[in-house]
């Protein structure tokens, strides 16, 4: 069975500081990995997917299969980045319909 | 496109009552899912569906039923509400195939007294 672990429930940084939200996964096959974000009083929305190797709102995430990690990074945090962040894994195959989420990390960026 | 819609936004139930949370999407997505969000637990999958007439259990299915008679609708039924079902419920949908984005509804905040 697949599992996603986000070890930090809370993460606080100051504006302009680098930020890294950790995500580790457990899955024997080739995973599809995503980061979703939930801003206050809004619905969850996709931030990044590993297959795209893109940078969204200054965030990047690299899949490290050796360390089974998919950490989310941003070099200079902004106050508007304050939100709940979820790492998610899709096991693929017949499981295409469902995502397994981590516990989430609440990021607070102080002015 | 309205995307994924959920009703109601808020609901208070008494223990033992039943109710149905409604979810609809207008994007012709094959896959639909129900999650509950609890503090410190993240999102946990309740039930999901890969197409009309096909449903399967997720991580925490007990106490919930689903059906998928149309592509658009995926209602979640609480058979006999319990305080442990107090949570925020999210419906989501996505297209079939790899690496497609999952779209979420706005959520239903349910309190069971």
How far from each other are the two terminal CA atoms of chain B, in whole angstroms?
Answer: 36
Instruction: Say which DSSP state B13 is in.
Output: E
B4 by Cβ neighbours in 10 Å (0-12 / 13-18 / 19+) ranks as buried
- Chain A CB contacts of B10 under 8 Å are none
Rounded distance between C-alpha atoms, residue A4 and residue A99, angstroms: 10
Q: Please report the pLDDT score of residue A51 as a whole number.
A: 77
State residue A11's pLDDT score: 97
**Nearest residue in B to A5, CA atom:** B42
Query: DSSP string covering B6-71, please?
Result: EE-SEEEE-TT--EEEEEEESS--SEEEEEEEETTTEEEEEEEEEETTEEEE-SS-TTEEE--SSS
Residues 15-74 of B with CB under 8 A from A: 30-33, 35, 40-45, 48-50, 56, 58-59
pLDDT along chain B (113 residues), means of 10: 93 97 96 92 91 92 96 96 96 86 94 97
CB neighbour list of residue B15: distance below 8 Å, 6 or more residues apart: B81, B82, B83, B112, B113
CB atoms inside a 10 Å sphere around CB A53:
11
Provide the residue-wise pLDDT of chain A in tens; the chain has 111 residues. Answer: 789 999 999 999 999 999 999 999 998 877 889 999 999 988 999 999 887 778 889 999 988 989 999 999 999 999 999 999 999 998 765 556 678 899 999 999 999
| DSSP bridge pairs for B88 | B37, B109
> B99 CB near a chain A CB, below 8 Å?
yes
Select the residue from B4, B31, B42 to test the A interface by mutation, using most A Cβ atoms within 10 A: B42
């Amino acid at each position: 069975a697949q599992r996603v672990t986000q070890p930090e429930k809370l993460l606080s940084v100051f504006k302009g500081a680098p930020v890294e939200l950790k995500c580790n996964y457990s899955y024997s096959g080739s995973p599809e990995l995503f980061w979703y974000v939930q801003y206050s009083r809004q619905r969850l929305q996709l931030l990044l997917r590993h297959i795209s190797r893109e940078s969204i709102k200054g965030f990047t995430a690299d899949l490290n299969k050796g360390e089974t990690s998919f950490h989310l990074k941003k070099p200079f945090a902004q106050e508007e980045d304050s939100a709940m962040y979820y790492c998610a894994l899709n096991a693929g195959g017949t499981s295409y319909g469902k995502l397994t989420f981590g516990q989430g990390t609440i990021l607070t960026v102080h002015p | 496109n309205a995307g994924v819609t959920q009703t109601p936004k808020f609901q208070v139930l008494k223990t033992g009552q039943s109710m149905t949370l409604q979810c609809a999407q207008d994007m012709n997505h094959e896959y639909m899912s129900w999650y509950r969000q609890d503090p410190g637990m993240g999102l946990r999958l309740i039930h999901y569906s890969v197409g009309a007439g096909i449903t399967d259990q997720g991580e925490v299915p007990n106490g919930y039923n689903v059906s998928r008679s149309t592509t658009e609708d995926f209602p979640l039924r609480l058979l006999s509400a319990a305080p442990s079902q107090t949570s925020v419920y999210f419906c989501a949908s996505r297209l079939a195939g790899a690496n497609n984005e999952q779209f979420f509804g706005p959520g239903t905040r349910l309190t069971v007294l």
